[in-house]
């Protein structure tokens, strides 16, 4: 029979990176970590919603960052600034004038691309990567989302959704410093949403238009900047590995001179080896005294630090570690994803998310072996005991216990506690560890203590 209508199968071998990403995207949706926004309306390409497991993962990442950057240090304080700031902030920071990408359109298929990342053909001309059509001349496209404050939509009411959280730390520098009588070196940290009208949205949540940042502006004496720049490079790289990310998949990449912003003295990216290649997780920059000076000049207000030893006002230098919550969440999901083959004599393998216990959305699942003989009641009491101690526990009685274990493996839950026939006799339960699948018997009364001890214990080697 003729097969005219059939498409020819591509000979191209499947790309392992793409295959892995497809599995992660599918798991993320199936288990409700993260999925496209507004799906019932066909989805919005660059925006994502975090479901019940994803929201906990993100909260845990932010909590770990806040704990290590703010709460465990004497020299850093927090801030939660407004997303909409005075429009002059963005003029002074350079975002109105310079925060743009060169954009080209295909004259044939009308698709839009960033001119700076298109590859020229071997002949040296650059054409549409989708259809080979001719491209327009590049024009600058500002990445800031604009809106209007108040009921009148004119130029005077134009405001922007912040494209980074950092500027608030410069603008509020003097107020925060004076209130806390902070001495150099000190930092102001903030976690919050940022918005960029990215032309190319790519690699799932890696590049989206609405995302969260975790940023620290660390103010230091001029001259001490190089020392603190080195310190934050090391500290921030270690943070990722202390939360279980594989060291061989992380690296620091120093920017070359021509990559540096004109005001930056040095910049390093913490990069991760994503399935599509190395990509930025976080940028660490020595921004000199540029931002404080810009805002002082633009606002006419003094943004200096009074050095009581020399009786002089100085403009501090700033080191900025700037990380993305969404890129971290995606990285931890990818890094934790493991497919294990079936053990000998068994048919089924398993998918397990080896998330660090501190990041795992659910810390412990409590399972009655069967739905009778008082087991559900005991299990529910154990769950409540965990909740009383602020440990996120989950009760599950659906399907066989083996299937319930698999479900928790896929959700990254580090421990499962099973209530069985023996529990009533000697007040013990089994505790199963996710990665080794090893099971121990422990006393019900000790369950909270045992799990909490393991949760705060040393990070994975
Ligand atoms: P890239 O070069 O990948 O566009 P960038 O250098 O513009 O990133 P920064 O301005 O340094 O990024 O922002 C700091 C961090 O904020 C980044 O390391 C990243 O984790 C996060 N981030 C920036 N843009 C996005 C985005 N569009 N989507 C998700 N996260 C982002």
Index of the ligand 1 atom closest to the CA of residue 209:
27
So what's the pLDDT on residue 253? Answer: 98
Range ranked top by mean pLDDT from 66-70, 124-128, 198-202: 66-70
Instruction: Report how far residue 196's alpha carbon sits from residue 207's, in angstroms, rounded to the nearest whole number.
Output: 9
Q: At what angle do helices 325-336 and 16-30 cross, to 10 degrees?
A: 110
The residue nearest atom 6 of ligand 1, judged by CA position, is: 283
- 308 CA to centre of ligand 1 in angstroms: 38
> What mean pLDDT is predicted for residues 93-111?
90
Residue 365 has pLDDT above 80, yes or no: yes
The full set of domain ranges for the chain reads: 25-84+166-238+247-332, 341-455
pTM of the model: 0.92
The fold adopted by the segment(s) 341-455 is Rossmann fold (3.40.50)
Single out the residue of 439, 431, 425 nearest to residue 382, CA to CA: 431
C-alpha dihedral over 31, 36, 40, 45, to 10 degrees?
Answer: -160
- How many angstroms does the Cα of residue 284 sit away from the middle of ligand 1? 11
- Residue pair 213/192 in contact by the 8 Å Cβ criterion: yes
pLDDT of residue 271: 98
Percent above pLDDT 70 for the chain = 97
Taking residues 306-323, report their average pLDDT. Answer: 96
How far apart (Å, rounded) are the C-alpha atoms in residues 211 and 324? 7
Report whether the peptide linkage leading into residue 185 is cis, meaning its omega lies within 30 degrees of zero. Answer: yes
pLDDT in tens, 395-452: 999 999 999 999 999 999 999 999 999 999 999 999 999 999 999 999 999 999 999 9
For 383-402, write each residue's pLDDT tens digit: 999 999 999 999 999 999 99
Q: Separation of 331 CA from ligand 1 center, angstroms?
A: 14
Q: What integer is the mean pLDDT of 163-176?
A: 98
Write down the pLDDT at residue 457: 57
| Ligand 1 first shell, C-beta below 6 A | 164, 196, 198, 207-208, 211, 213, 280-283, 322-324, 326-327
Confidence of residue 67 (pLDDT cuts 50, 70, 90): very high
Question: What is the 106 CA–ligand 1 centroid distance (Å)?
Answer: 26
Domain 25-84+166-238+247-332 fold: BirA Bifunctional Protein; domain 2 (3.30.930)
């Amino acid at each position: 029979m003729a097969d005219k209508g059939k498409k020819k199968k591509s000979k191209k071998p499947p790309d392992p990176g793409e295959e892995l990403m497809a599995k992660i995207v599918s798991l993320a949706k199936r288990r409700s970590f993260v999925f496209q926004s507004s799906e019932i309306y066909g989805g919005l390409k660059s925006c994502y919603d975090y479901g019940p497991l994803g929201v906990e993962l993100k909260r845990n990442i932010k909590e770990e960052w806040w704990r290590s950057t703010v709460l465990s240090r004497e020299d850093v304080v927090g801030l939660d600034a407004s997303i909409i700031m005075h429009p002059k902030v963005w003029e002074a920071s350079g975002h109105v004038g310079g925060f743009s990408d060169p954009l080209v359109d295909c004259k044939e298929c009308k698709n839009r691309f960033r001119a700076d990342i298109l590859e020229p053909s071997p002949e040296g001309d650059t054409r549409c990567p989708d259809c080979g059509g001719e491209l327009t001349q590049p024009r600058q496209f500002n990445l800031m989302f604009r809106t209007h404050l108040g009921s009148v939509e004119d130029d005077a009411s134009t405001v922007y959704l912040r494209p980074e959280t950092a500027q608030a730390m410069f603008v509020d520098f003097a107020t925060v410093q004076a209130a806390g009588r902070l001495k150099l070196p000190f930092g102001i940290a903030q976690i919050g949403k940022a918005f960029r009208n990215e032309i190319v949205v790519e690699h799932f949540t890696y590049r989206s238009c609405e995302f969260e940042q975790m940023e620290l502006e660390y103010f230091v004496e001029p001259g001490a900047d190089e020392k603190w720049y080195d310190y934050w490079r090391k500290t921030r790289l270690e943070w990722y590995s202390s939360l279980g990310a594989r060291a061989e998949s992380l690296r620091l990449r120093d920017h070359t001179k021509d990559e540096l912003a004109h005001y930056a003295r040095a910049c390093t990216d913490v990069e991760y080896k994503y399935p599509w290649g190395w990509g930025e997780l976080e940028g660490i920059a020595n921004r000199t005294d540029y931002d404080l000076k810009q805002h002082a000049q633009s606002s006419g207000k003094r943004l200096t630090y009074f050095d009581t030893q020399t009786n002089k006002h100085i403009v501090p230098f700033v080191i900025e570690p700037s990380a993305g919550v969404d890129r971290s969440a995606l990285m931890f999901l990818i890094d934790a994803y493991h497919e294990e083959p079936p053990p000998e004599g068994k048919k089924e393998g398993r998918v397990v998310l080896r998330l660090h216990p501190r990041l795992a959305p659910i810390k412990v699942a409590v399972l009655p072996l069967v739905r009778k003989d008082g087991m559900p009641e005991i299990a529910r009491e154990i769950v409540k005991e965990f909740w009383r101690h602020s440990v996120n526990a989950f009760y599950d009685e659906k399907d066989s216990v083996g299937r319930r274990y698999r479900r928790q493996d896929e959700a990254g839950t580090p421990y499962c506690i099973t209530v069985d026939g023996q529990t009533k006799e000697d007040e013990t339960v089994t505790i199963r560890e996710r990665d080794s699948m090893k099971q121990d018997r422990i006393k019900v009364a000790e369950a909270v203590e045992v799990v909490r001890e393991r949760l705060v214990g040393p990070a994975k080697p």
